[in-house]
Amino acid sequence: MVIYEKNEQVGGTWWENKYPGCACDVPSHNYTWSFEPKLDWSGTYASSKEIFNYFHSFTDKYALQHYCRMRHQVVSAIWNTQEHGYHVKIRDLNANTEIDDFCDILINAGSVLNSWRWPAIPGLESYKGKLVHTANWNEFLVLDGKHVGLIGNGSSGIQVLPAILPRVKEVTTFIREPTWVSPIPGLEQHIFTAEEKEAFAAKPGLLTQYRKDIERGVPIPQWSVGCRRITPGAGYLESLGAENVNVVYGNIDAVTPLGCVSGGREYPVDALICATGFDTTFRPRFPIIGPTGSNLQDEWKNEPQPYFGIAAAGIPNYLMFLGPNSPVGNGPVLSAIEAQADYMMKLIDRYQTTNIASFSPRPEAVADFTAYKNRFMHGTVWKDACQSWYKAGRPDGSITALWPGSTLHYIEATDEVRTEDWETTCSGNRFDWLGNGYSQTECDETADWAYYIRGKDDGEYQSRGKKRRIATKSGTVKADAGNFQVFPKI
């Protein structure tokens, strides 16, 4: 296995985003892998640097660098029918050369929030002051004593304003449309004391219970407040009322060499910060060519149609992390990534232990999933006419970024591979994997060849409902567990 990463460090968005105030809007203790808790988060909402350090230390702990080729960016992937795999071109960004590789299975872990974009405002290139995008932050940019213009009031803009306010002379913030800023009750920003951190480490089960309470207490949206992603916004509303903050509501008509024009008035600024987000179309960042010569970039140009957010019809042996219609805004995203990884491993296990040559979701399965998703979304707050990245920025667009349900719903829906939804081709006879008639157990001299003889039936339950109840410890949690005490009692 080889992992190609365009950046010089692992960490994705937490390596790329270094703007002032950058943090996660998910409680820190639950923004971890389920099996790798962190005891000493500084506060309820950790900074991007702290989160980056978590993922970087995780990489070091498990020696994952061995599999990574940093500063290598995938340029294209073309399916070869005879070889049942992809010819992949990669650009070595340090040497500025292209190399060729081949893979049996291609996994795209680039996700969607990785291609930042300037706002489509006429005259932006004419601006003579300091121009910067939050996702491409210049760490040497000096804002002290400056009059700063801030475009955008999404998650990034909400974090930037209170972070820069103490050191700038003045801020003019341009807001195109309203957004909801509301911390979940009980999960406001909180800086953990040394005693609380020590308690997490010393009291068995305390941290796990705290994380479970957070997970159970954060529901999916049930009203129009959730049409756009809700941001905790610590200090943002207070900043809007500061004496040195000017709020300009409405579209920016143009950018001039001096600043922005809105409603016929020019607002000169010394520096202009664009907190204007990313290309959220889910269109792959590089050509992915399938067996018929079709390019997934073209197929998904107008609307992506995935299978459960992890695969595409007609593109064999291709899998995605956090593809379209994954649960990215309606629950804990890292738990969703783990569920997708488990699902992929089950597919790959079947691929490796039988003589499957290629696999891809059936077109009719993808069409049915898309129809179900659209029907479900029609009755949700996400369908409201807000301008959300869940709909690629189009108020009336199809909802492409969210799973039709909760993250827990997604975890259980992807627990088993629905083989009826997948089409496969085999190398030779489909039963060649049966081999020479001997089991693999009989090739293992250290195994119990009569393992199936036992005093009681201790195998796993075959009922999906029974397995779920055992896995979720059904009956062990009080029915009112949603009314939780957030901060642990020490």
Structure tokens at 210: 């705290």
Residue 146: what pLDDT? 97
Q: State how far the alpha carbon of 318 is from the alpha carbons of 28, 220, 296, 304, 400, in Å.
A: 32, 30, 11, 15, 19
Pick from 253, 240, 280: which is nearest to 387 by CA? 280
Domain with 453 in it: 434-471
Instruction: Report if residue 256 sits inside a domain.
Output: yes
CB atoms within 10 A of CB 221: 18
**DSSP-derived pairing of the beta strands 271-274 and 130-133:** parallel
CA distance 209 to 207: 5
Instruction: Report if residue 239 sits inside a domain.
Output: yes
Residue ending a domain, choose from 246, 274, 302: 274
Dihedral (Cα; 141, 147, 149, 153), 10-degree rounding: 90
Contact 116, 135 (CB under 8 A): yes
CATH classification of the domain holding 242: 3.50.50.60
pLDDT along the chain (490 residues), means of 10: 94 92 87 93 91 95 95 98 97 97 97 88 96 93 96 91 95 86 62 88 87 67 57 78 93 96 96 92 95 96 95 98 90 90 97 96 98 93 83 84 92 95 95 93 95 90 91 84 50
Instruction: Report if residue 255 sits inside a domain.
Output: yes
Residue ending a domain, choose from 230, 251, 274: 274
- The total number of structural domains that make up the chain: 2
Instruction: Report if residue 206 sits inside a domain.
Output: yes
Residue 443: what pLDDT? 92
Instruction: Report if residue 448 sits inside a domain.
Output: yes
On whether the pTM is more than 0.85, the answer is yes
Instruction: Report if residue 152 sits inside a domain.
Output: yes
CA distance 281 to 303: 8
Instruction: Report if residue 367 sits inside a domain.
Output: no
At 239, which helix (H) or strand (E)?
helix 236-240
At 467, which helix (H) or strand (E)?
helix 464-471
Residue 223: what pLDDT? 39
Residue 332: what pLDDT? 78
Instruction: Report if residue 350 sits inside a domain.
Output: no
